[in-house]
A and B are shown apart, each in its own frame.
Chain A
Amino acid sequence: MLRYVIRRLAWAVPTLLFVTFLVYIALRIGTNPVESYKRINPRATPAKIQQYIDVNGLDPNYVRGYFRWLFNFVTLDWPRSIKGSREVWPQLKDALANTLRLGSAAVVVGVTFGLLLGVYAALQPGGRRDVSVNTAAFVGISIPPYVSAIILQLVFAVYWSRWFGSTLFPTSGVYPPGQEGFNLGLMAKHMVLPTVVVAIQIIAVYARYMRSSLLDVLSSEYMRTARSKGISERRVLFKHGLRNALIPVVTIAALDVGSIVGGLIITENIFSYPGMGKYFLSAFGEGDFPLLMPWMVIIVTSVLLFNLIADISYAWLDPRIRLD
């Protein structure tokens, strides 16, 4: 097991380098960093431009440029953003913290309800509960996050106050304008609607996973063996059923981080929530290379990390899997 983990970790590093290299090329071709620098700073002197090219590793030779960028990145000598020439890390840190808060709230809510609904549906396959959970999950999957976000905004930003005279949930930002310092209550209030939007997707997906996984397990031979041994139905379900049903679900959960981030990007943008998604879209719109690359590194790293966790947890949870 330990050898397997070490080998996977050893592979993760070259993969990370390779993927960031691809991202580097894609961004250089796609956003044309030098041009966007000149566009945003039209009066920059040639010396300034040359300095910008140097610190960002925008050498005409992609390989040399990439290593130049990598060196600066690893030694924490990060170039400043094109627009406003601001430090990148403070912005990125805030965005990351906000997104982690929103994302983990949505994942906790989504996975909990999703798994519960899946079990609830699987216990009575073909019954009324099953059909209604399944249909609801289907509707949830078919609704893109921006549609649910727009509808929630319409209801809470406009009509709630019109009908009931007060706002229930705010629809933009983390704090109301002018708020200074930390305030948990206000923050939670602002997070309710974005969390709901992201969680709807997660609930729908996990209810379906859990249902089909549990149905597979329930119809397997060892469940019959367990019952015939005279173990109580409850114990059969929890000890043998749920534990085995969770194995594929955990794996899929770890692999799903990309689509959750995707949902977050869209949701954050609509609710003006200052997280990674808003950061990315505004940086991408400006072609701000110094802002984009660290963002990409974080996303690539987390995707690879969760892939790793998926593989390892799968091997760990399921003793039947042999690691050569």
Chain B
Amino acid sequence: MTDEILLPTASPRKMAYDRFVSHRAAVVSVFVLAILVLFVALSPLTARYGVNESVQAPPNSFLPPRANAWLGTDDIGRDLYSRLIYGVRVSLVIGLFSAIISVTIGCLVGAVAGFRGGRFDDIIMRVTDLFLAFPFLVTLLVMRNMLGAIGWLRPVIGELSSVRFIIVLFAIFGWMGVARIVRGQVLALKEREFIEAARAVGATRWYIVRKHLLPNSVGPIMVALTFSVVSAIIGESTLAFFGYGPQAGAGATSLGILVGQAKGAVNTGFWWLAVFPCLVLVTIALAINFIGDALRDATDPRMQKDS
């Protein structure tokens, strides 16, 4: 009995960290993303040309990769490498902001729906099920035009082709998936003893949601956040691909616009215009997905690698 030694147990946070680090693809992804963000954040240094600057005097269009344009040039002689950096910047901003907004809304709605149950829960879940069942692109396009046509919303959400509008649009869509996840989590937690104890000592609902339910759902929420970022970035690209994305006003560009340009370049064999933007998009999506996967493993101890 006395030989039993209490091993110094690791803190939950340390265990989560260890589990995260054991996901090798995720660690690589973190590095890749960090490099990418660094490139974007230091864009005045890393980009070689301005957004709309051409690399040399004409003839300069559709130059294959070469010394003064590492990744080639587009139809009007602009450097693809520099434009990718500017484009990723816009896409990351869209992804991050819309994910933060949609996760905030989703957490609140999901927590309240799961906690209160009843009519509110029924309606919310019905609506989200319905929205999520439809083809994403169709709903997105229809909603986009509808919101854009409502005049009094304009001061809040901006012009149809602005970056702000795209962020609002994805925030409106994104919260639903998050709400569903958080609701499931809350439903599972609700019956646990510590919640009952909190209720017994007279904690208010809002207090329980804030102090017990949300902190205990941090894992799933973080995972939802990463996946929201990916879906917003891919969504922006999809919209831009079909010509409904943010317009390149004031010299801005986005990953979606660059991928969209590839459509025209394919049949003429300007491979660099198709390959590099697609490669960057897939790399970002894959890296964030891997990180989300590792976060799920890390924050949910029940999900062992081999079970």
B146 and A150 form a contact (CB under 8 A): no
Report the minimum CB–CB distance from A265 to chain B (whole Å).
6
Question: Which of A41-49, A90-98, A111-119, A255-263 contacts its partner?
Answer: A255-263
The chain A residue sitting closest to B281, CB to CB, is A147
Give every chain B residue within 8 A of A31 (Cβ-Cβ).
145
Cβ contact of A147, chosen from B134, B242, B259, B290, cutoff 8 A: B259
In the bound assembly, the distance between CA atoms of A270 and B293 in angstroms comes to: 31
Question: Which of B52-60, B172-180, B266-274 contacts its partner?
Answer: B266-274
Cβ contact of A27, chosen from B134, B142, B230, B282, cutoff 8 A: B142
A146 and B238 form a contact (CB under 8 A): yes
A20 interface residue (CB < 8 Å to B): no
B113 interface residue (CB < 8 Å to A): no
In the bound assembly, the distance between CA atoms of A265 and B136 in angstroms comes to: 10
Q: Mark A99-136, 1 if CB is under 8 A from B, else 0.
A: 00000000000000000000000000110000000010
Q: A126-B305, A265-B135, A299-B134 are in contact. Are A146 and B142 (CB under 8 A)?
A: no
A29 and B281 form a contact (CB under 8 A): no
B228 interface residue (CB < 8 Å to A): no
Cβ contact of A151, chosen from B141, B275, B286, B293, cutoff 8 A: B275
B269 and A146 form a contact (CB under 8 A): no
Report the minimum CB–CB distance from A261 to chain B (whole Å).
4
A270 and B135 form a contact (CB under 8 A): no
A30 and B142 form a contact (CB under 8 A): yes
Query: Binding site of B, secondary structure by majority: helix, strand, loop or mixed?
Result: helix
Give every chain A residue within 8 A of B281 (Cβ-Cβ).
144, 147
Report the number of A-B residue pairs with Cβ-Cβ less than 8 Å.
Answer: 117
Give every chain A residue within 8 A of B241 (Cβ-Cβ).
146, 266
A266 and B238 form a contact (CB under 8 A): yes
A146 and B259 form a contact (CB under 8 A): yes
Give every chain B residue within 8 A of A157 (Cβ-Cβ).
266-267
B130 interface residue (CB < 8 Å to A): yes
Count residues on chain B whose CB falls below 8 Å from chain A CBs: 46
Q: Which of chain B's residues 147-165 have a Cβ closer than 8 Å to chain A?
A: 148-150
Q: Mark B32-51, 1 if CB is under 8 A from A, else 0.
A: 00000000000000000000
Report the minimum CB–CB distance from B113 to chain A (whole Å).
20
Q: Which of chain A's residues 28-81 have a Cβ closer than 8 Å to chain B?
A: 29-32
The chain A residue sitting closest to B289, CB to CB, is A142
B137 and A142 form a contact (CB under 8 A): no
Give every chain A residue within 8 A of B262 (Cβ-Cβ).
150
Cβ contact of A26, chosen from B133, B143, B266, cutoff 8 A: B143
Give every chain B residue within 8 A of A159 (Cβ-Cβ).
269, 271
Report the minimum CB–CB distance from A24 to chain B (whole Å).
11
A284 interface residue (CB < 8 Å to B): yes
Give every chain A residue within 8 A of B130 (Cβ-Cβ).
19
Give every chain A residue within 8 A of B275 (Cβ-Cβ).
151, 154
The chain A residue sitting closest to B307, CB to CB, is A219
B306 and A125 form a contact (CB under 8 A): yes
- Residue among A32, A142, A259, A262 with the highest chain B CB neighbour number at 10 A: A142
Which residues of chain A have a CB within 8 Å of any CB of chain B? 19, 23, 26-27, 29-32, 125-126, 135, 138-139, 141-144, 146-147, 150-151, 153-154, 157-159, 162, 215, 219, 255, 257-259, 261-262, 265-266, 269-270, 280-281, 284, 299-300, 303, 307
Known: A150-B262, A153-B266. 9 other contacts (CB 8 A): A144-B238, A150-B259, A150-B274, A153-B267, A158-B269, A159-B269, A262-B136, A284-B141, A299-B135
The 9 closest A-B pairs by CB, nearest first: A30-B145, A262-B135, A30-B146, A142-B285, A142-B286, A126-B306, A158-B269, A261-B135, A147-B278
User: Can you list 23 residue pairs at the A/B interface with Cβ under 8 Å?
Assistant: A27-B142, A31-B145, A125-B307, A139-B282, A142-B282, A144-B234, A144-B282, A147-B259, A147-B281, A147-B282, A150-B262, A150-B263, A151-B278, A154-B271, A158-B267, A162-B269, A257-B133, A259-B136, A261-B138, A266-B238, A284-B141, A300-B134, A303-B133
